[in-house]
Amino acid sequence: MLIPQTRNIGLPMMNLMRFKGLPILQQLQIEEQLLRTSSDNWCIINDGTSDPTIVMGVSGKPAELLEIESVLRAQVPVIRRFTGGGTVIVDCGTIFVTFICNKEAVPDLQPYPRPIMSWSGLLYSKVFQGIGDFHLRENDYVFGNHKFGGNAQSITKSRWIHHTSFLWDFDVRNMTYLKLPKRAPAYRSARGHLDFICRMKDYMPRSTFIDKTVEAASTQFSLSSFESEEIETLSETEFHPSTRSKANSNFQQRQYLEEFYKDSHVANNFEKHLE
C-alpha cells in the first residue's frame, strides 16, 4: 500500500517503517532506541520474523513461563524485551505492529496503560470492521473469546510505546514450549494454549491486514515513509539496548536462563543437555 504524498493537515506527524522478516531481537532493539533517543512518532510494521523465538516481558520468570528442558533441547532462542506483558513465541507467522508516540501526539489521551490500550482497541476496530467478532478483551485482541493479538507497553516521562504480536498463523508444536501462565485474564478460564488462541488467516488475508492497519493509522497521523538505514543517524549518543539474547549456543542459552532463575535443581537439569 502506498502512502499518499499529501499530508493530512492538522494531524501529528508519524514516521512509518516497514520490514519483512526482520529478526525480532533487532526489531525490539530498534524500537527501544526510537523510544529513548528519538522525539518523533513512529509506526513500525514487521511482517514475520526469521526464526522461532521466545520473547519474555521485562519481569517474566523463565521457570514459571517456559518448559525449560524442551526449550534447551530444541535450542529455541529466548530474549527478554524492554516492555511489560506476557511471554510469546513468534515466527514467520507473526505480524508485529508498534506505535511509539510522544505523550501529546494523541489529543486527550492520558499516558497510562488502560487509556493507551483503549485507544489501540478503537484504532484496530477500524482494521477489523465487519470481520469476525473483534473486540478488546482485558489486554488482548480477540475474535469472540479467542485471542489473536498480545500487547505490551512501556511509558517514559515524555513518550510511550504500544506493540502487538498478531498471530496470523502459528505452529502448534511451538506452543509446547510455553507453560500456562499463573496470571491470566479471567476470560481464558484456564483453557490451554490451543483452545485459547486463533489464527488471523481464518479471518482475513495477511496483506489486507497490513494495508488496513496503515490506513487506520493514517486517520490519526500524517504518515511519512522512513528508510530503516537512516536509524543510525537519529541520535548522536551511543545507545545500548536492554533487550538482548544470549542464545548463540545451548551453553549460552543455559547461562541466559540461569541469570534470571537461580535454582540449583533446575541448573543441574540444564547440565545434561550440554553433553
* Alpha helices per DSSP H over the chain: 24-37, 62-65, 68-74, 113-127, 193-196, 206-218, 250-260, 264-271
Structural contact between residues 16 and 223, judged by C-beta atoms closer than 8 angstroms: yes
Backbone phi, then psi, for 233, in 5-degree steps? -90, 0
**Environment class of residue 134 by beta-carbon count within 10 Å: exposed (0-12), middle (13-18) or buried (19+)?**
buried
Q: What's the pLDDT at 259?
A: 57
- Per-residue pLDDT at 183: 86
Long-range CB contacts for residues 30-34, cutoff 8 Å, separation at least 24: 30/228, 30/231, 31/98, 31/100, 31/161, 31/163, 32/82, 32/241, 32/242, 32/243, 33/231, 33/234, 33/235, 33/239, 33/241, 34/100, 34/231, 34/234
Domain ranges of the chain: 13-228+242-270
Beta bridge partners of 153: 162
Comparing 261 with 161, the larger pLDDT belongs to: 161
What's the CATH architecture for 13-228+242-270?
2-Layer Sandwich (3.30)
Task: For residue 35, name the pLDDT band (cuts at 50, 70, 90).
Answer: very high
Quote the cell numbers at residue 9: 493537515
Beta strands in the chain (DSSP E): 13-20, 42-47, 53-56, 78-80, 88-90, 94-102, 134-137, 140-143, 146-155, 159-167, 222-225, 244-245
* Cβ-contact 170, 178 below 8 angstroms: no
Is residue 168 within 8 Å of 93, Cβ to Cβ? yes
Confidence of residue 207 (pLDDT cuts 50, 70, 90): very high
Q: Per residue in 218-254, pLDDT tens?
A: 999 999 999 876 766 665 557 777 776 645 455 555 6
**Is the CB of residue 84 less than 8 Å from the CB of residue 153?**
yes
Contacts (Cβ under 8 Å, ≥6 apart) of 165: 55, 88, 90, 94, 95, 96, 149, 150
- Which is it for the CA torsion 246, 75, 183, 262, positive or negative? negative
The pTM is what? 0.86
Average pLDDT over residues 14-18: 97
How confident is the model over 167-187, as pLDDT tens digits? 999 999 999 999 998 888 999
For residues 98 and 244, which has the higher predicted lDDT (pLDDT)? 98
Per-residue model confidence (pLDDT) at position 251: 58
Q: Give residues with Cβ within 8 angstroms of 231, minimum separation 6.
A: 30, 33, 34
Rounded percentage of the chain residues whose pLDDT exceeds 70: 81
CA–CA gap between residue 175 and residue 211 (Å, rounded): 28
